[in-house]
Chain A
Amino acid sequence: MNGGAVWWVFFYALSAFTLFNALLVVTGKNLFKCALHLMLVFLGVAGLFLLQGAFLLAGVQTLIYTGGVTTLILFAIMLSEEVVGRQRQLVSRGVSIGISAAICFLGIALTIFGTAVAQLPENYGVHIAPVAQFVAEASHLPMGNVRAVGVALLTQFLVPFEFASVLLVVAVIGAIVIARLAGGK
Chain B
Amino acid sequence: MHYLVLSALLFSIGIYGVLTRRNAIAILMGIELMLNAVNLNFVAVCASLTPNQITGQIFAAFVIVVAAAEACIGFALIIAIYRNFAKVNVDDINIMRW
Contacts and interface: CB of A to CB of B under 8 A. Distances in A.
Question: Do A and B interact directly, with beta carbons closer than 8 Å?
Answer: yes
Interface of A: 11, 15, 18-19, 22-23, 25-26, 31, 34-35, 38, 41-42, 45, 48-49, 52-54, 56-57, 60-61, 64-65, 68-69, 72-73, 75-77, 79-81, 90-95, 97-99, 101-103, 105-106, 109-110, 113, 117, 120, 123-127, 142-145, 148-149, 152-153, 157, 160, 164, 167-168, 170-172, 174-176, 178-179, 181-183
B52 to A, nearest CB: 7
A157 B6 contact: no
B27 to A, nearest CB: 10
B51 A174 contact: no
Main secondary structure of the interface of A (DSSP, over half): helix
Contacts of B77: 178
B83 to A, nearest CB: 4
A90 B21 contact: yes
Contacts of B14: 22, 26
B49 to A, nearest CB: 8
A79 B79 contact: yes
Contacts, number: 238
Contact of B2 (A81, A93, A125): A125
Contacts of B71: 69, 72-73
A179 B78 CA distance: 9
14 contacts: A19-B6, A26-B33, A31-B23, A41-B33, A49-B39, A102-B12, A109-B12, A110-B5, A125-B45, A143-B51, A149-B54, A149-B61, A153-B61, A167-B65
B78 to A, nearest CB: 5
Size bracket, chain B contacts: 35 or more
A19 B9 contact: yes
B58 A34 contact: no
B54 A110 contact: no
Given A113-B1, A149-B58, A168-B68, A92 B20 contact: yes
A104 B6 CA distance: 16
B47 A54 contact: yes
Given A72-B72, A113-B8, A126-B48, 18 more contacts: A15-B6, A18-B10, A19-B6, A26-B17, A57-B60, A69-B32, A75-B75, A80-B79, A95-B20, A113-B4, A125-B4, A168-B68, A172-B72, A175-B76, A178-B79, A179-B80, A181-B80, A182-B83
A164 B69 CA distance: 9
A144 B53 CA distance: 9
